[in-house]
Amino acid sequence: MGKKKKILWFSCGVTSAVACKLALNKYGKENCHIAYIKIDSAHQDNKRFIALCEKWYDAKVNVYQSEKYKDQFEVMIAKKFINSPFGAPCTLELKKKVRIEIEKQIDFDGQIFGFEFEKKEINRAIKFEEQYPDSKPLYPLIENKLSKPECLAILESAGIEKPDMYKLGYHNNNCIGCVKGGMGYWNKIRIDFPEIFQKMLDVEEYVGAHALKIPLKDLKPTDGRHETPIAPSCGLFCQIEFEDIISDKVEPFINGFEKTKERGAFLSLNNLQKQQQ
């Protein structure tokens, strides 16, 4: 039986890109398997970003995709369903099911995620570790106190321009036309990607449901003007329960957390906290 590997989740986002780099430095590329789940509605510029990261890593980014569906629109049409408070079928079909297959294929003893050093993200990481302990999650960015702006700076210093979706002002590099986006997000999609906006209008009509509280066809160009065009990040684990309720374990990370000295491996959040006590 070969040595167990770390699965490094690359999402074409700036934080996961840096988390992968830190893990490669720590464990060596022969002990890592970088996995990216492709969805056809992602920005075309992602190809450039992946190629540059592969060069930076000196390692291959392994690309996976759902065998059944190419993008969220195909899922919504097939399921005649868009989104619900309990999760979006596109996350389940395009990400979670693919992720489960990858986990079956790779003999792993840890998974690297790009949750950053920021209150809400630390909270998500804590809940994620509590809800999915078997996934053995490791968070190099939290351990190294790295936030998204710092990850951007690291990429820039490596000569890698950020993905085009960030340049356009989006906060995540999700599928274009994410069903979790708010009014401000969809009004920005209407301007930046009118064909995707139209596609979503058609899907809503076909399915007889809508992603926002109101049908997209009734969205006024001024709706959501106060919002930044954010679609919440869409995780590989479908749904983190109670992610909006901030755990009391977050505060010690934000305020009392000392970056500990360099170790041979990253620690689970649980063990990291024990080290701080």
| Binding status of residue 178 toward ligand SF4 by CB under 6 A | yes
Site of tokens 């005649």: 80
Question: Does 12 participate in binding ligand SF4 (rule CB under 6 A)?
Answer: no
**Is 90 near ligand SF4 (CB under 6 A)?**
yes
The torsion angles phi and psi of 162, rounded to 5 degrees, stand at: -65, 155
Applying CB under 6 A, does 76 fall inside the site for ligand SF4?
Answer: no
The residue within the footprint of ligand SF4, chosen from 72, 123, 173, 187 (CB under 6 A), is: 72
Compare residues 27 and 69 and give the one whose CB is closer to ligand SF4: 69
Task: Choose one: 5-13, 87-95, 183-191, 255-263; the region binding ligand SF4 (CB under 6 A).
Answer: 87-95
Instruction: Tell the smallest beta-carbon distance from residue 241 to ligand SF4 (Å).
Output: 16
Q: How many of the other CB atoms lie within 10 Å of CB of 61? A: 18
CB contact at 8 A, 176 and 43: yes
Cα–Cα distance, 261 to 270 (Å, whole number): 17
Q: Which residues 95-114 are close enough to bind ligand SF4 by CB under 6 A?
A: 95
Write the DSSP symbol of residue 216.
G
List, in sequence order, every residue forming a beta bridge with 98; answer none if it has no partner.
Answer: none
Q: Does 174 bind ligand SF4 (CB under 6 A)?
A: yes
φ/ψ of 41, rounded to 5, equals -85, 5
17, 23, 82, 94: which one binds ligand SF4 (CB under 6 A): 94
How many Å apart are CA 219 and CA 212, to the nearest integer? Answer: 9
Element (H, E) at 34: strand 32-37
Least distance from ligand SF4 to the Cβ atom of residue 213, Å: 17
**Contact footprint for ligand SF4 (CB under 6 A):** 39, 72, 88, 90-91, 94-95, 174-175, 178-180, 234
